[in-house]
Structure 1
Amino acid sequence: MSKSLPTIDEIINTLKRSSMPTILIEGSDDVYIYRYLKQKFVNRLVNLQPCGGRINLFTIYDRREEFTGKKVLFIADKDSYRFSGVPEDKCDVIFTEGYCIENDIYDGSDIEDILDAESLPSFNITKDCLIRWFTFELQKYIDSNHQQTMAVGHHINYIIPDGTSKICSNFIAQIGYQEPRADVLDLIISNVNLNIRGKQLFQTISRYMTGKGRFSSFSDKNLVEVALKMKQTEHTINLITKVNEKLVA
C-alpha cells in the first residue's frame, strides 16, 4: 500500500518547524523528475514535498504568511495558464514553460528520434489527432473566457484507441467533438511540443515503442527518464536557474 500524502495543515505545520529549504510540487508522479533536477540545484539538501495536487499547492501558497521566514519554493505546471497567462496573485510560483513539466523535458530533447523510421507515419497521424482534440478543448476554454476547465487528462488510448488512426467515435459523441477553428489550431501548432499536454506526447511515442516483435519496450515513464537524462533542454535549464535564484535570495 502506498504511503498517503500529508494534509495541507500537516504540510504547513511541518514547514513552520523545518529549517531545511523546501520545494513544494504538485503531485507524487513528478517526484522522480524533480529529484533528478535537484542534482543541479545550488543546495541539494532541499526537501521535495508533493502536495497531492495543484489545488492543494495553491492553497498552501495562499497561506504562506503562516510560515514567513522559511525558505519555501513552489513549482507548478503552467496548465491552462499557458494560454490565459499566469495570474498576478501567483507571481511567486515557479511555473513550467510548457503545459506541464513533461513538455519542458520533451521540447528540444530530440526524443522523437528514438522512433523507428517505419513508425513515423503512424506516429505523426496519431499526433495530429491528439493536436486536433486538444485544440477542441482549448477552443472551449477560450470561448468560455477562460472559465471552463480544459478536460485534457485522458490517456492517449482513451482518445485514440491503440491500433486505430482516428479519434474514438464513442469519445467524439461523449464530448461533442467538432473540428476546431483554424485560428486556435494555428495557435497550438505554433509551438506544438509546449502547447499540448506533455504526458500524452510521451504516451504517443510509447505506443510505437512497445509491443510484440520489439527488441525492447519503453513505457511513457521510461521515455520521460530517457529524455530527461539524454539532453538538458533550455526549459529545464531555465527552471533550474529560477529555483537557484530563489534558493540563494
Structure 2
Amino acid sequence: MSKKGRDGLEPEIIISTLKHTNIPTLLVEGTGDVGIYRWLEKRLGVGKVDILQCGGRSDLLEIYSRRGEFDTKPVVFLADLDDYIYFGVNIKYNEIIFTSGYSIENDIICDNSIDYLFDESEKSDFENALTRMIEIYSEKVSRRSSDPSEDLALHPSTYYDFERSAFITSNIFEQYQKDELWFDHIKADPKILIRGKNIVSLYAAILSRTSRQSKFSKANIVEIHLKQSALPMPIARTLVKIRYKFRALGIAI
C-alpha cells in the first residue's frame, strides 16, 4: 500500500504513477485511516491491488476529474459520502464508489456489534451522549446546507463528562440548538448518518475511561468490527462493489 504519511500522495505524483503502471489500483482519500486500508488490501489480495492514498477528498475528486489522462489504466475510486449523504451526489461522480454511510468508519461500526461491551451504566451514558450529539449535529447539518465551511466534527467530550456520567457546562448548547427536521432524520439511523469519527470517539470515550479494567481505543474499536466473522453489510457491500468495478475493467480480484 503506497502512502505519504497521514496526508497521502500529491495529485501530480499519483497521476504520474498511474500513467506508468498497469497494476490494478484502488484510489482512496487517505485521511489517516491506514488500518482500514490495510484491511481492505488484505481482503482484496495483497499484491493484487495497490492502494494509493490521496491527500484527502478534494485531491481524490481532482484526480477523478483528470482520469482521462490515464483512462486505459485499471483504476477504481473509493470515497466517503461525507455530506453528500445529506444533500446528494453530483452525477459527474457516478463512477466513484461511495460509502453507504457518511464515511468508511460508519460502514464498519454501524451494526452495534460491540455494544455488548457496555454495562448498564455505560449503555445509559452512550444513549444520553448520542442523543445530545444528534441534537447538536442536526443544527450543524442545517448550517452546512447553506455554509460548506460548517465543521461537522464533534467530539463528545466537548459536552459530556464520561468519568462523572454527566453533561458539562458548555456554550455549545447555546451555539447549536436542535433542528427538528434534521434531528428526526438523523435519529432514524445515527450510526450511518453522523460523521463516523464522531461515533467512534463516543464509543472510545466510554470504553477507555479510567474506571474500566479493560480499555478500548478508537483503533481497537474499528479493528474489532473488521475482525468479525460476519462483516457489517455496508462494508461487505463496498467490497463487492470494488471487485465488480475491477472485473468490469478485466481484472479478477
Q: Same fold (TM over 0.5)?
A: yes
What per-residue deviation string (whole Å, max 9, x for no partner) do you get for residues 34-58 of structure 1? 2213333278520111101100110
| CA pair 131-167 structure 1, distance change in 2 beyond 3 A | farther
Q: Give the corresponding residue for 1:195.
A: 193
| CA pair 5-36 structure 1, distance change in 2 beyond 3 A | closer
1:151-230 equivalences under 5 Å are: 151-160=151-160, 162-163=162-163, 165-166=166-167, 169-172=170-173, 176-181=175-180, 183-230=181-228
CA contact (8 A) 2:9 2:52 kept: no
Distance in 1 of aligned mates of 2:16 and 2:46:
23
| Over 4 Å off, 4+ runs | 161-164
Where 1:52 maps in the other structure, the secondary structure is coil
Where 1:140 maps in the other structure, the secondary structure is helix
Aligned-residue identity in percent: 31
Distance in 1 of aligned mates of 2:128 and 2:46:
44
| CA pair 132-121 structure 1, distance change in 2 beyond 3 A | same
Offset at residue 159 of structure 1 (A): 4.8
Offset at residue 149 of structure 1 (A): 3.8
Where 2:52 maps in the other structure, the secondary structure is strand
Q: What letter matches 2:54 in structure 1?
A: C
1:66-215 equivalences under 5 Å are: 66-142=69-145, 144=146, 148-160=148-160, 162-163=162-163, 165-166=166-167, 169-172=170-173, 176-181=175-180, 183-215=181-213
Greater alpha carbon shift after TM alignment, 3-12 vs 90-99: 3-12
Q: What letter matches 1:232 in structure 2?
A: L
> Is the helix fraction higher in 1 or 2?
1
CA contact (8 A) 2:24 2:75 kept: yes
Q: Which runs of 5+ in 2 are unaligned?
A: 249-253
Equivalent pairs counted in the alignment come to 242
Greater alpha carbon shift after TM alignment, 198-207 vs 46-55: 198-207
CA contact (8 A) 1:161 1:168 kept: no
Distance in 2 of aligned mates of 1:29 and 1:123:
25
CA contact (8 A) 1:31 1:48 kept: no
Offset at residue 168 of structure 1 (A): 5.2
Q: Which runs of 5+ in 1 are unaligned?
A: none
Distance in 1 of aligned mates of 2:56 and 2:49:
20
CA contact (8 A) 1:98 1:104 kept: yes
Where 1:24 maps in the other structure, the secondary structure is strand
Alignment TM-score, normalising by the size of structure 2: 0.87
Distance in 2 of aligned mates of 1:34 and 1:41:
10
Where 2:26 maps in the other structure, the secondary structure is strand
CA contact (8 A) 1:5 1:50 kept: yes
Offset at residue 26 of structure 1 (A): 0.7
Alignment TM-score, normalising by the size of structure 1: 0.89
Greater alpha carbon shift after TM alignment, 159-168 vs 225-234: 159-168
| CA pair 95-159 structure 1, distance change in 2 beyond 3 A | farther
